[in-house]
Amino acid sequence: MFPCLTEPQPGHFLICVHAKPGARNSAFASPLTPQSTQVDLRIAAPPVDGQANAELLRFLDEVVEQGLRELQSDPTRFLEGTSYTRVLAADTEPPLATGDAGDSSGRKAKKKVKGTNSSASRNTSKKTEGGKLSASSPNASNEAFPGRVEVTLLRGGTSREKTVLALFPGARAQLIAILEKASQS
């Protein structure tokens, strides 16, 4: 679902963008759908001297920051009419194993469970500046990016097909809901 947005690391999201420079105003060219492989954007800048790239980053940053503020102020009303619950369910659902795996898949699952439990026990406390141990919160990405939104261009500086990195303090489903809501208006 929504292959245009991936999360390689917690809080780091890659967005595939198809930019169309030279528009009168920056906006989504088409609504975002669960099958979208790219986010289609019209950019209000000419494709000269990086002006379109700068406007693309400014526009995406503004959309994500405004959406995050609206989401934080009234989450239930904001998420209404978006694919948030379906994306959240798809992201938390384990991938289905296909083929005849037999006993080896059971062992892999046990190793995975063991690995997640041991990593959870390792991350239950942190040393503070005074040297004392303190319990860590379950959402580490919110600690790393407390309310901070940052958008940077990774690939495609001279083409219309671009990859943008967005630092976002929420979940993938929340960022998709923000982009989906903005593309529908």
Q: What residue numbers bound the domain in which 53 lies?
A: 5-92+141-184
How many domains does the chain contain in total? Answer: 1
pLDDT digits (tens, 9 = 90+) for 68-101: 999 999 999 999 889 888 888 888 877 665 554 4
pLDDT in tens, 94-152: 766 555 444 444 444 444 444 444 433 333 333 334 443 333 333 433 344 456 799 99
% of the chain with per-residue pLDDT over 90: 56
Task: Give the separation between CA 14 and CA 5, rounded to whole angstroms.
Answer: 6
Residue 16 forms part of a structural domain? yes
Domain-embedded: residue 115: no
Q: Is the pLDDT of residue 20 over 80?
A: yes
Q: Is residue 127 part of a domain?
A: no
Is residue 27 a part of any domain in this protein? yes
Strand partners, 155: 163
- Structure token digits, residue 131: 């040297």
Question: In this predicted structure, what is the pLDDT of residue 108?
Answer: 44
Say if 44 falls within a structural domain.
yes
Establish if 70 belongs to a structural domain.
Answer: yes
Q: How far is CA 159 from CA 49, 77, 91, 165, 178, in A?
A: 13, 37, 31, 16, 25
Whichever domain contains 48, its CATH number is: 3.30.1200
* 43 belongs to a structural domain: yes
pLDDT at 94: 72
Q: Give a yes or no: residue 118 inside a domain.
A: no
Per residue in 34-71, pLDDT tens?
999 999 999 999 988 899 999 999 999 999 999 999 99
The pLDDT score that the predictor gives to residue 119 is 38
State the pLDDT at residue 96: 62
